[in-house]
Amino acid sequence: MKKSKGTILAAAISAIALGVAGAVSAAAGPDPVKARNDAMEDVGRAFKKIAAIAKKQAKFDAAVVKTNSEIVAAKLTACLTLFPPGSETGSVKSLAKPECFSDAAGLAAGLKASAAAAEGLSKVTDEAAFLPAFKAAGDSCKGCHDKYRVPKK
Amino acid sequence: MSIGKAAAATGGLLLAAGVVAAWILSAPSPGVTAVPEGKADLANGETLYHAGSCLACHRPADGAAMTEPALPSGGAPFKTPVGTFFPQNLTPDPETGIGRWSAADFVNAMTRGLSPAGTHYFPAFPYTSYRFVRTEDLLDLRGYLRSLPPVRSAARKADVPLLGIARRGVGLWKRLALREGGFRPDPARGPAWNRGAYLVNGPGHCAECHTPRNLLMVMQPARGFAGAKHPAGEGQVPSLRGLVARGKYKDVADLALALQNGETFGYEHLSSGGMAAIQTNLGLLPESDAGAIAEYLASLQ
């Protein structure tokens, strides 16, 4: 009787300890949801700097196009590992649709295609070639978001 | 005992009366029988076709045989809280499309939600908005659809529980949700604002997703465009009120650019929940119409 009480107590303590350790590791370890949200925010910020040229709100500047499309390509490539199975939810709100996990191959292909389009855009040096390359990259973003992302408020 | 019997009998009678009343009230109203027809303005019809993003819902299912993704031969699943619908073939195929529909059939479908056979359409087909479209515009739209190459593609039956009863029940819903009256321009506003109001509330049917509905799924006009639950369960459809005032867009010109180019130009709110397909269609509108829509939307507070 006494022993069993002690066992229960020990089990409870270890359970609490495990729980705490689990919570600590979750907080300290990388949360793929937050990581991919941050990466996509970076993509959005960089892309908007290029979009300003297309909207004629800024002058064409090959250096701005190159720097920012390289950021877009790198961040999209980083996203390839940020949709692991089981990461439907995390410490922050996820906009990932279930299709991100049920069709992981399709998502990966989309990310790669968008990164490639951004790389193509980064190589543009003259204004005439800019708009077609920019539209190709933008269309690539658009194609995936409708399929894999829930609406943003 | 006899009281119980009497109560049962009364209850039975009430129930029967209720069923009879529902049957009468849900009957499809007779639509128009004849529409004066002129020569259709195909360019105007095409504008309305894009303004309504008809293809976004009436597209063929992915990879369906013998179809062309750019033609509205129907069949792609359309999910709603009621069930899944497979929209009608809009090409002029006589057997499976609208080839044999008279002008009156087309007008009754668009403005009253009545099929050529006289049954109710579910409001997944947004006649609640299309009833604001002018008859001459409807006829131009019909003319444009009839100018498309016919595609043979029979519509699949909707996947809705108790389909027959539910379809008849739409008649009761229409009594609540379908009020009379076409589009009335606001004389205090300019022509561009009024054009935008017409395109948004009529063919564009923006309210269908952006205006919240009550428990009976009737749109609440007092909360027009205030944002709503996504019909297929993809989170929240954003509010269209104060788009400029809230800083979502710099000004009317910025909003017009967004409607024309969407996410392609980095406007990140225009490519989720099905909006990408709608924006793609809006991008095919004449520039003046995109500007008119933007002017009207920016005025919503």
Q: Is the pLDDT of residue A139 over 70?
A: yes
Q: Do B276 and A145 touch (CB under 8 A)?
A: yes
Q: Is the pLDDT of residue B35 over 50?
A: yes
Model confidence pLDDT, tens digit, residues B270-285 = 888 889 999 999 999 9
Per-residue pLDDT at B160 = 93
Q: Is the pLDDT of residue B184 over 60?
A: yes
Q: Is the model's pTM score more than 0.95? A: no
Q: Which long-range contacts (CB under 8 A, 24 or more apart) does B214-221 make?
A: B216/B173, B216/B176, B216/B177, B217/B81, B217/B123, B217/B173, B217/B177, B218/B173, B218/B176, B218/B177, B219/B128, B219/B177
Beta partners for residue B84, in sequence order: B79, B159
Nearest chain A residue to B254 by CA: give it.
A55
> Tokens at residue B171, please?
């008649």
What proportion of chain B, given as a percentage, has pLDDT over 70? 99
**Cα–Cα dist B60/B297, whole Å:** 31
Beta partners for residue B120, in sequence order: B114
Q: Are B234 and A150 in contact (CB under 8 A)?
A: yes
The rounded mean pLDDT for chain A is 85
Nearest Cβ partner of B277 from A95, A146, A150?
A146
What 3-state class would DSSP assign to B100? coil
Per-residue pLDDT at A1 = 41
**How does residue B210 score in pLDDT terms, banded at 50, 70 and 90?**
very high
CA angle A121, A124, A130 (to 5 degrees): 80
Secondary structure (DSSP) of B225-290 = TS-EE-TTSSSEEPP-TTTTTTTSSSSHHHHHHHHHHGGGGT-GGGSSTTHHHHHHHHTTS-HHHH
Model confidence pLDDT, tens digit, residues B84-130 = 999 999 999 999 999 999 999 999 999 999 999 999 999 999 999 99
Residues of B in contact with A153 (CB under 8 A): 227, 236, 238
* Amino acid at the residue A139: D
Q: Is the pLDDT of residue A2 over 50?
A: no
**How does residue B28 score in pLDDT terms, banded at 50, 70 and 90?**
confident
Q: Is the pLDDT of residue A113 over 60?
A: yes
Backbone torsion region of residue A29, taken as left when φ is above 0, otherwise alpha when ψ lies between -120 and 50, otherwise beta: beta
Buried-state track A112-151, b at ≥16 Cβ within 10 A, e below 16: ebbbbbbbbbbebeeeeebeebbbbbbbbbbbbbbbbbbb
**Cα–Cα dist A92/A89, whole Å:** 8
Higher pLDDT, A142 or A108: A108
Q: Average pLDDT in the B29-56 region?
A: 92
Q: Do B271 and A139 touch (CB under 8 A)?
A: no
DSSP B193: H
Give residue ranges of B with CB < 8 Å to any A CB.
Answer: 227, 230, 234-238, 254, 257, 261-266, 268-277
Model confidence pLDDT, tens digit, residues A13-40 = 454 444 444 443 344 357 999 999 999 9
Give the Cβ contact number of residue B5 at 10 Å: 9
DSSP B215: T
Per-residue pLDDT at B76 = 94
